[in-house]
Amino acid sequence: MKLLILALKNITRHRLRSLLTMAGVAAGMFLFTAVETMQHSLAKVTQASADDTTLIVYRENRFCPATSRLPEHYLPTIRRIEGVREVIPIQIAVNNCGASLDVITFRGVPAEDLRKYNPDLVVIAGSYENWIKRSDAALVGETFAQRRGLKIGDKFEAVGINVHVAGIIKSKESQDNNVAYVHLPFLQQASNIGLGTVTQFNVKVASSDLLDPIAKAIDETFRSDSQPTVTRPEKAFFAETAKQMIELIGFTRWLGLGAVAAVLGLVANAVLLIVRARVKETAILQTLGFSRLQIASLVSFEGILLGLLGGAIGVISAYLFFHWQSFTLGNEGLTLAITPSPTILLKGLLVALLLGLLASLYPAWRASRQPIVQSLSQ
């Protein structure tokens, strides 16, 4: 503790140099946290878990909502398959099928089925009843509303569709927070798809071990129909449909590693400069009786503090940035909300601490090994 206080005082000795080092660390850790946040957000929507019980029925060989068209009358047939708990037909309209940072997605659903299908939806502003009553009403996801600055009573136009904001919803499923739910017939007509045609069916099954058999049963049922289907678990559907986006995000891992390497080099360089500038002072401390371990600890603490303080600035800035900016990556009609996570925040701080320690190991070793007499006479 006493050494830590001494290290903190040492950092303030050359304020500008310390601030510049911390600014560099902050920039590197901001980038690292941004990459980790993207990876984490992607993992959340693509990694299957035992709790997953949703299937997506899509038109075979189609990869974009604009081209996937299935007859709405498949609904009762799917519902009759054993193990199916709930089915909802969804018409999806998006402003952009390619990769984009500002995707607007409308989901048209039967008004009477939304709550039954998705009981986790919470209306945090406006009301569900108002949405039911008005045919052009929209329940807008919290992130979507935040991104577009929408509030209750607003009208907005996107994808050539004009809607009235009747409510703002929140869900633990990040996809729901990034879309606007509208009435199915309204969207079918407004998007010129026509009544009776939907993009997909979302099917909830009784348990996760039924996902595969039911998917097979659905596809088998419509195999010889004019609109054959391909049915996959929701997360596998995301992983397959948004392959390009996933590859792009996968590549960012290298950026994260680059940021980590840059931080490591920066702190190591700063601590090495500190050690070189204080050869005589270190010898004085050794003369007073500071052991090699104490000298090494003192130097390491400086590295850790530089890493941790700079890292904290970068990591917290990135967290707040993603919290307020509400970025949504979209591809093939699917959206990926880049949402900050406390886990990533803690991971970033831990990485900054470890980088500070790692970067100061060699300088600390050097400082602790320097010969006293020669150092005093420098």
Partner 1 sequence: MFITIRNLTKSFKKGPNLITPLQNLSLEAPRGEFLALMGPSGSGKTTLLNLIAGIDSPTSGDLMIDDHDVARLSRAQLTKWRSRHVGYIFQLYHLVPILSAFENVELPLLLMPLSRSERRARADAALDLVGLSDRAQHRPTELSGGQEQRVAIARAIVHDPELLVADEPTGDLDGESARSILALLTSLSQDHGKTIVMVTHDPKAAAVANRVLHLEKGQLVNPPATPASAVS
Residues that bind partner 1 in the complex, under the rule CB under 8 A: 2-3, 6, 9-10, 12-13, 280-281, 284-292, 294, 372-373, 376
Q: Which H or E element spans position 337?
A: strand 334-337
Closer residue to partner 1 in complex, CB, 328/375: 375
Measured from the CB atom, the residue of 19 and 124 that comes closer to partner 1 is 19
The rounded distance, in Å, linking the Cα atoms of 140 and 170 is 9
Query: Residue 17 CB, nearest distance to partner 1 (Å)?
Result: 14
In the complex, minimum distance from the CB of residue 19 to partner 1, in angstroms, rounded to a whole number? 16
Q: Are 199 and 69 in contact (CB under 8 A)?
A: yes
Burial level of 56, CB count in 10 A (0-12/13-18/19+)?
buried
> Which among 69, 67, 57, 378 is positioned nearest to 233, based on CA atoms?
57
Nearer to partner 1, 243 or 280 (CB): 280
Rounded to whole angstroms, the Cα distance separating 89 from 59 reads 13
Q: Closer CB to partner 1, residue 68 or residue 368?
A: 368
Residue 37 CB, shortest distance to partner 1, in Å, is 38
In the complex, what is the shortest distance from the CB of residue 287 to partner 1, in angstroms, rounded to a whole number? 5
Q: Which is nearer to partner 1, 5 or 43 (CB)?
A: 5
Give the residue with the Cβ less far from partner 1, 276 or 280: 280
> How far apart are the C-alpha atoms of 71 and 90, rounded to whole Å?
11
Which tokens in the block code for residue 237?
A: 């559907």
Which letter, b or e, does each residue of 302-340 get, where b requires 16 or more Cβ atoms within 10 Å of its Cβ?
bbbbbbbbbbbbbbbbbbebbeeebbbbbbbbbbbbbbb
- Quote the least distance from Cβ 11 to partner 1, whole Å: 10
What's the min distance (Å) between Cβ of 267 and partner 1?
Answer: 20
